[in-house]
Amino acid sequence: MATDGLRLNPGSGFDLARVQAVRVNAPAVARRTASLNASRSVKGAHQAAWLVKAIQCIDLTTLSGDDTPGRVQRLCAKARRPLRADLVAALGLADLPGGLRVGAVCVYHEMVAPAVQALAVSGIPVAAVSTGFPAGLSPLETRLREIELSVAAGAAEIDIVISRRQVLLQDWRGLYDEVRAMRAACGAAHLKAILATGELQTLENVARASWVCMMAGADFIKTSTGKEPVNATPEVSLVMVRAIRDYLDETGHVVGYKPAGGISSAKAALQYLALIREELGTRWLDPALFRFGASSLLTDLERQLEHHVTGAYSASWRHAMP
């Protein structure tokens, strides 16, 4: 089943005029993100609460060529218990319904079955990167079959990559048709559409690609594979979350957001959470609608929470991912 058992976004018909009407004021985007970064700061217990929220919204990820079932099993154990028991107790989280856990575990298709087994009865979904990740250049039939196989293996979420060339060529109908076919292949699983924003050249392309993917039924839109030279940035995030807000206003359909790639510090996580709260509202501060795509972020979140509890930092290697 999908994360919350409900389809977030049924999609809508393709509307080329609406896509072409999308405009982005780049200087205004820069000013808005600068103001967010300069003026939002939380301390003490309030900061600790935000850091815990960040943990709950992580897609804990391993996407390496040398992944093994053993590594994935260790990652899943960390997903179940992302903080030491003494820190959980000190933060008053011992009685948290369902326990403190991350939003999902994200792996390649070959590691879906070991992850599903390791996360049994935990309530933590497995997300599979798919459709020729990270380039997305496999034949469409191959990409659709990959989705079907990952869903059959137990993946509750599928992170697909779009064809960047369709954006660069302004082939919006072609992009819509491909994502729509991927939506169908997902069945009951949630679809997270990766735009690879660092390769789309302009913020206007990012906004238009966001709209097309949402029209086609993407339940989340996601910045990056983590493999591009430029991944998540506050600027592309602002453009994407405002597209989500406008899409909701016009269709009534809810879409989640996932920044991914290069988010490795607690400070950066807090900035993204502030952006989401101010642009989309507190409803989106939930793993059902917001995720960090990250492999190393948890390390710094743990260190900062340990400092909050004990007043001291431990060595970073003590919190290193398995």
Dump the DSSP string for 250-317. Answer: HH----EEE-BSS--SHHHHHHHHHHHHHHT-GGGSSTTTB-EEESSHHHHHHHHHHHHHHSSPPPGG
Residue 4 belongs to some domain of the structure: no
Residue 320 has a pLDDT of 59
Active site residue 177: no
147: Cβ–Cβ under 8 A, 6 or more apart, which residues? 130, 131, 158, 160, 182, 185, 186
- Residue 68: give its domain's CATH number: 3.20.20.70
Residue 239 belongs to some domain of the structure: yes
> Which residue among the candidates 159, 192, 219, 300 is catalytic per the annotation?
159
* pTM score: 0.94
**Neighbour count for residue 249 (Cβ, 10 Å):** 8
**Average pLDDT of every residue of the chain:** 93
Active site residue 222: yes
Q: Is the pLDDT of residue 317 over 60?
A: no
239: Cβ–Cβ under 8 A, 6 or more apart, which residues? 24, 29, 203, 206, 207, 210
Tokens of 28: 């205004």
Of residues 226 and 322, more confidently modeled: 226
Residue 5 belongs to some domain of the structure: no
Residue 206 belongs to some domain of the structure: yes
- What domain range includes position 135? 16-319
Residue 231 belongs to some domain of the structure: yes
> Which residue among the candidates 53, 78, 192, 258 is catalytic per the annotation?
258
Q: How confident is the model at residue 2 (pLDDT cuts 50, 70, 90)?
A: very low
Place of tokens 């400070």: 267
Helix (H, G, I), strand (E, B) or coil at 105: strand
Active site residue 159: yes
Q: Is the pLDDT of residue 234 over 60?
A: yes
> Which residue among the candidates 59, 78, 222, 300 is catalytic per the annotation?
222
The answer to whether residues 292 and 259 touch, using CB atoms and an 8 Å cutoff, is yes
Number of structural domains found in the chain: 1
Residue 231 parent element (H or E): none
Residue 1 has a pLDDT of 35
**Overall average pLDDT of the 292-306 stretch:** 94
Q: How confident is the model at residue 149 (pLDDT cuts 50, 70, 90)?
A: very high
Residue 8 belongs to some domain of the structure: no
Residue 199 belongs to some domain of the structure: yes
Residue 11 belongs to some domain of the structure: no
